[in-house]
Structure 1
């Protein structure tokens, strides 16, 4: 199932906001994605002047990939701690000032005894790392779209005070 046109427009606009704020503040941005499989990075890479502020992204779907690529410790991956470690790991590994980390259960089945739609979104900036827990409704694509949109919103908000 493809991204809905409404969501794509929202995400495109939110990515432009991230671009403007990152450019204005002279900071770089990276992504660490699990359930969204690079969907956030796709929007950031397509945003204006991405070459000057977007360091890149890591898609770490498996537990082993999260641990090896981002230094996530041996913890439940559907957790705030994992999302924080992913964001901080992406900033460190990709040499970025700011990063977003997302992990969760996109469906169709529960994972780590967490219900479908449970998502953790962490934002790392020089000021520290914050995280939100969400419980999105819908089919797997709707959950991924909601996660992508909220991650871009939070990233834009986090960049407000960065730099």
Structure 2
């Protein structure tokens, strides 16, 4: 169990909000990390591991034309996966991971190309437009390291988003986060 997952479960519990996860390259690791935290059942709605490209459309509502033209490793695909799982599993927040863990490139993207996304109830209270945020990652390491860092990054993305709402310091956090990659 990671401190990132523990902090995310704590924040969601305090807020009375829920999360659902759509995973591709992480193959269920994000869901496993969240559910390793005691009390996660209060906030975790479930997950969809859509490893096959067609399942991203069939189960998560990702635009078929987008998948056909851009492939599964794309920032818009990640955003639509997060929105789709949020809707499908009736959660306040949706998280998504898509990318290339290796050993070979996919959809014209090199190994280590990863997109993580969050979709949630930003709305008027937070001063942020309804919708989501996608972070592009270029990761080094072997398959296991890329998958682990993808899990850490998507958990951090939602934790930072929630913490930013609570502190009003979202812009500074986003600048710091994006500067790291």
TM-score in same-fold range (> 0.5):
yes
Gaps of 5+ in 1: 1-8
Question: In structure 2, what is the Cα distance between the partners aligned to 1:32 and 1:139?
Answer: 22
Question: In structure 1, what is the Cα distance between the partners aligned to 2:41 and 2:100?
Answer: 31
User: 1:77: how far off?
Assistant: 1.1
User: 1:102: how far off?
Assistant: 0.6
Residue 90 of structure 1 is aligned with which of 78, 85, 88?
A: 85
Gaps of 5+ in 2: 123-130, 167-181
User: 1:159: how far off?
Assistant: 2.5
Contact map agreement 1:125 1:158 (CA 8 A) in 2: no
Aligned residues: 152
Question: In structure 2, what is the Cα distance between the partners aligned to 1:126 and 1:48?
Answer: 25
- The 3-state SS of whatever aligns with 1:24 is helix
Aligned to 1:5: none
Aligned to 2:12: 22
Please tell me whether residue 102 in structure 1 is matched to residue 102 in structure 2: no
Residue 73 of structure 2 is aligned with which of 78, 99, 103?
A: 78
Aligned to 1:53: 43
Deviations 1:136-159 (A, max 9, x none): 001111100111111111121123
Structural RMSD (CA): 1.1
Q: Determine which structure has greater relative contact order: mean sequence separation of CA pairs < 8 Å that are 6+ residues apart, divided by chain length.
A: 1
Aligned to 2:174: none
**1:1-163 superposed matches below 5 A:** 12-74=2-64, 75=66, 76-127=71-122, 128-160=131-163, 161=165
Which of structure 1's runs of 4+ aligned residues deviate more than 6 A? none
Work out which of the two has the higher radius of gyration on C-alpha atoms and give 1 or 2: 2
TM-score, normalising length from structure 2?
0.81
